[in-house]
Structure 1
Amino acid sequence: MGRPNTLVLREMKTTPPHSSSSNLLADRVYETLRGHIAQGHWAPGTQLRIREVAALVGTSVMPVREAFRRLEQAGLIVTEPYRGASVRELSIDELEYVYDVRIMLEPDAARRGAVLADDAAVETMRQHWRLLESAAAHGDIAGAVAQDELLLSALFSAGNNPVLTGLIQGMWDTCRPYKNLWVRDAVGHGLSRWSYLADLVAAVETRDGDSAFRILEHVCRTSRSTVRGILDPLST
């Protein structure tokens, strides 16, 4: 089993848990393991053994069991009889399903956000765009994914529909392993792959909802095509 990021594990071990709340410890274990999967520290198919993970994060097995349960509910791991838990494998079929949903939700959320965004929302988007540029320039895949999502979250939140924003952000957990593949590919091609974000910020600055819709729809479709080619070069 691939070892998680040691810095995160050190933080887990040196931060004392609240003895009065086992739920708090389970929350921390869940977020740590979720981060390792989302950031690609554990590749799809990696076997996750409860006792080994508990030893790595410095806890008993109980909070790890609870974290595994929540990770499975989030669609990040799968459990099978006699095999235990493993990081969910990626598939072309799931890629298609996930991006179908993204195409239905994200362009509409972008249009709503662009029309209603205030100057503070635009400035927040600019800040995340600058941080994304820096992360991509340094080959920081996890950082680039995080800044991309924070930028889009700022836009979607401006649309004042928390249900829509919540649905999209929930989808990102399922989609993030595929997004990581896209970002690794994009980092290799330089910032040109992210040029759409500059166009998106410009559309929001002028409150051009239709342009924001078209940009996000195009990006979702081209991203799906790129990842499909990575997973199965013969499919493109």
Structure 2
Amino acid sequence: MVISKRIEPTLLTDQVFAMIHASILSGDLPAGSRLKVRDLAEQVGTSVMPVREAIRRLEEMGLAEREPHKGAVVKSLTYEELIHVYGVRRLLETEAARLGSENITPEDCQRMQAEYELMRKAIDEQQVIALLDHDEAMLAILYQASGNPVLLQMIRTLWQQCRAYKIVGAQGSLDSGTDDSLWRYQQDLVTAARNGDAAAASAVNEASLVDATERIRARLAEQATT
């Protein structure tokens, strides 16, 4: 299994939650994986109670769910949820890009560029999780410039909820070998931010999320037939 590190008997629930949560976001525990309480407790070296509480938190976050005859599992991917989550992301992230580009500093634009370059390196190395991490870091710099911490926090929560979808989409683009959608929109977004072009930044995010939704939808359909 993917969780092997043992932890000290302090703040057990928080630590167990953090470890399982990280494994889900990294893709080590993919959608549909069973979260067996006793197995997880043995792997992390705790009793079953902290694991049960950690799984309850994951269910509240929308990262785990109960299935008949299986118990808790990492939440499965569905077309309906994809449409709903990405629809909300479009509403929030187009506005965050617009506001951020109106207020971002040259120093923050340089930080965005640095994260963009690290993202391109991760793409070249076929490192899905690293490219998503750097992409989110780049976007967070822009969104933080909006001056609305609640907006950024809501977006971060959505990123966690749809990380499994993002992995599917990114991996599909990497596998194609010719898809530039993983970096083309981000490049345009950095340019829009540097120019303080709110309309362009908003439009880039809109186009990026529409494109991502379609790529992930196609990937899910392809997986359903295999």
Q: TM-score if structure 1 supplies the norm length? A: 0.88
Match for residue 204 of structure 1?
193
Classify the secondary structure of the residue corresponding to 1:78: strand
1:40 pairs with one of 4, 27, 32? 27
Q: Distance in 1 between matches of 2:67 and 2:191?
A: 48
Q: Distance in 2 between matches of 1:153 and 1:104?
A: 16
Shift in Å, 1:48: 1.2
More divergent stretch after superposition (39-48 vs 142-151): 39-48
Q: Distance in 2 between matches of 1:34 and 1:4?
A: 12
Classify the secondary structure of the residue corresponding to 2:28: coil
Is the 1:133–1:191 contact (alpha carbons within 8 Å) kept by the matching residues of 2?
no
Correspondence list, 1:157-236, <5 A: 157-188=144-175, 189=177, 192-193=180-181, 194-233=183-222
**Amino acid across the alignment from 1:69:** R
Runs of 4+ in 1 over 6 A off after TM superposition: none
Classify the secondary structure of the residue corresponding to 2:66: strand
Match for residue 74 of structure 2?
87
More divergent stretch after superposition (27-36 vs 144-153): 27-36
**Amino acid across the alignment from 1:203:** A
1:172-192: CA deviation from partner (whole Å, max 9, x where unpaired):
111111111111012223672
Shift in Å, 1:81: 5.8
Shift in Å, 1:79: 2.1
Match for residue 4 of structure 1?
2
1:216-236: CA deviation from partner (whole Å, max 9, x where unpaired):
00000010011111111499x
1:60 pairs with one of 47, 71, 81? 47
Is the 1:125–1:155 contact (alpha carbons within 8 Å) kept by the matching residues of 2?
yes
Number of residue equivalences: 222
- Kindly report the root-mean-square deviation, in angstroms, between the aligned alpha carbons of the 2 structures: 1.9
1:142-161: CA deviation from partner (whole Å, max 9, x where unpaired):
11111111111111001000
Q: Distance in 1 between matches of 2:104 and 2:110?
A: 10
Match for residue 138 of structure 1?
125
Shift in Å, 1:169: 0.8
Gaps of 5+ in 2: none
Identity of aligned residues (%): 33
Shift in Å, 1:84: 1.6
